[in-house]
Amino acid sequence: MCGVKFSLFIDADNQSANVASSLFGYINRNNNRVFSATIAGNSNGKPNEAWVKALRDFDPHIQIESIVVPCHPDAADAALILELGQNLRGFCNASRHVIIISRDDVLVSAAEWAQGCGLQVSLAYANTGQALKKRNTTVPICLLSRSKASQPAY
């Protein structure tokens, strides 16, 4: 993949911005770039703010949408799924690749559905040593390091 434009869907309630440098290291290979990012997190907003700062530090030209949701189970997941569904056709037509930054099972299902619709999609999440819950998936997974010095595992 050379010169690919990525759109990120970040579950800020599930994945801390301290994996951002590892994610950007993965994306920067072969002149790839982040075109847009949708961040969803609960109503205290602090995880969203940390991701916005990390994205702006990486590239101030990224189009960022930060969605603050009520503190209810799966609210951030639902917001990301709705945004992904709304933009799916445009992503496919623009040959955009999507990375969903989460390990939540419902977002794995959304990634599988989007892949079945023809979208180039992958998952990324912090490498905690635990596999996805009871799940085998055909969606590529990038394990991210919390350390700035490390490279992500594939």
Calculate ∠ Cα 112-38-103, nearest 5°: 45
Task: Classify residue 147 as left (phi > 0), alpha (psi -120 to 50) or beta.
Answer: beta
Torsion angle defined by CA atoms of residues 70, 106, 66 and 3, in that order, rounded to the nearest 10 degrees? 180
Taking only the tens of pLDDT, the chain with its 154 residues reads 567 889 999 999 999 999 999 999 989 887 888 999 999 999 776 889 999 999 999 999 999 999 999 989 899 999 999 999 999 888 888 778 999 999 898 999 999 999 998 899 999 999 887 666 656 888 988 889 885 443 444 3
pLDDT at residue 128, as a whole number: 81
Distance of CA 141 to the CA centre of its chain: 11
- Let me know if residue 128 belongs to a domain: yes
- Let me know if residue 152 belongs to a domain: no
Residue 56 maps to which CATH number? 3.40.50.1010
Q: How far apart are CA 119 and CA 121, in angstroms?
A: 6
Which domain range does residue 65 map to? 5-144
pLDDT at residue 153, as a whole number: 41
- Let me know if residue 115 belongs to a domain: yes
- Let me know if residue 150 belongs to a domain: no
- Let me know if residue 47 belongs to a domain: yes
Judge whether 152 and 26 are in contact, CB under 8 Å: yes
- Let me know if residue 20 belongs to a domain: yes
pLDDT at residue 149, as a whole number: 41
- Let me know if residue 153 belongs to a domain: no
Number of domains in the chain: 1
pLDDT at residue 131, as a whole number: 65
Q: How far apart are CA 111 and CA 90, in angstroms?
A: 16
- Say whether pTM exceeds 0.85: yes
pLDDT at residue 93, as a whole number: 81
- Let me know if residue 33 belongs to a domain: yes
Judge whether 83 and 9 are in contact, CB under 8 Å: yes
